[in-house]
Chains A and B, each alone.
Chain A
């Protein structure tokens, strides 16, 4: 007998997924590799395959359910009657598991005897209790705190004592957003109600989570693109078969600037800042389902041409849906280019848990004063949003200034 779960989605901070479609029903005969169901996370849509031949014995969740990826969603019994080989070792992910977590992936929450007794008497679900205090020993104090305030108040962390390290809670759906949508609908004659679910819901959660947990400050700067455009023209001439994009070139400059300002490259939670000497660059892509951010790992190890290629591959693979879940994970910095819309400056939302995001606007020809005279230059707006809890204004500005220099004088990249 084999339990099918969603652990194939495991990656940084992916805890739940929404079941968008079941491809089988109870009693169906399946072969190894058949798609059993399709799930969506805030990053991707994923087919979940059968890991063995057999018959679908149980389906445990419905379409639309938001399920923890460690949970069993379906059970396949081996038609031959012998036990199917178990899946390969599940990664040991720290989930806020239940008290009877021996079946789970190895983390057991301790609940003291009197706490168990009190919880039972008060009708408090032990799973809820342990979710509320992940990684903590649950004693009488915690039970009483839970009783006082059962719903976790997202805005007021620390009100009931120290809580676990996670600030992200992707499954939160506040009533406020629904009522705003409803209000807007009432003022128009014909209303259309679209339930927020699936990838929209996942993106919405991610946006809110990032916006509300990181204090965003955005800095804008104008950059002259002319020299970089000359570079681009030269390269296109030299490598006609390669696709050289502005995003690729900007990625080069960002790499170089991050090298000099490592404090911007990494992730941060409420408790910990994790800086990295490897730049895993996310490229925001406007895909069919919504905004997706594929990550190019360790761009510092690539040559310039390799980097251009990687950027193209990431964007293409993302649009075509051929990337793996791990291709969306592990980012330390993101570029989001909205130039196609004509927008010059904006306040991008950081791709949490990263520290910063670089927004790129449209490039326009403008009149610029150069050495006392008005000249035509191609200007582009860069908008850096950064987590002010983690990085102060001066260092952030310094990064932008460094980046501007690399873009305006590309030969400076040869020095680092």
Chain B
């Protein structure tokens, strides 16, 4: 496990993630963030916890619902929000949107709007690290829906075959767009699919950041040793629906409520853990909450005040 400072940082990151989502939702309603935004409220533990086990030069491929991954990998909040608003000060100069945020410096390479679209790329990273004889690791996030894509099976087979330096982290949030898992998955545990490729697969409670850290550390260590990929399936839940454009109605209020109890909510659980372990007092928690809110507010302000990119950049950078 990590030292106290880091644990506090992780807690703050989880709160930042949640406050970011709600803040962005407000900005979206105000027309400052345009296009569909895919928010990860309820899934803070997976992104923040898994990324905590990585160094800056370990690379992550993300999904369309990657804000917890970005925050967890230590990306600058200002540049994240600016990118979500399409401003020139964003990570990608405003060209990317919230789905395609990337930071080479922090090893987030990167956001991806195609379901399972980046897994092959992640395996390409893991293969390269192996070819170079390094112990760098590539961790790829994907969802339960993605585990049905052809790419999932092709990439897992090759990663397993070549024992590439990869961790495949599935955030099973129970829905592939509007279709619930029991209506799209042929198995109950996606981790069972690991056996099909001869690699270890493990299912964990994705709302328990400690469980996430433990499983990820083990998988990362395995990959660093050159023993190949591990499939982690973290069971979690997305509270706010698919995207800002989601009409809703397919996630029952009952179901949503069952996942947002203090026993299930990842932030509340971690706060409890930190206090039980004597890492934080209640006041510390309050302070961290306030700091997180403040950081988010400042980032939103930064985004609002930043300019749009100049039209002259439109045709630049198509080819290297």
Indicate if A touches B (C-beta under 8 A): no
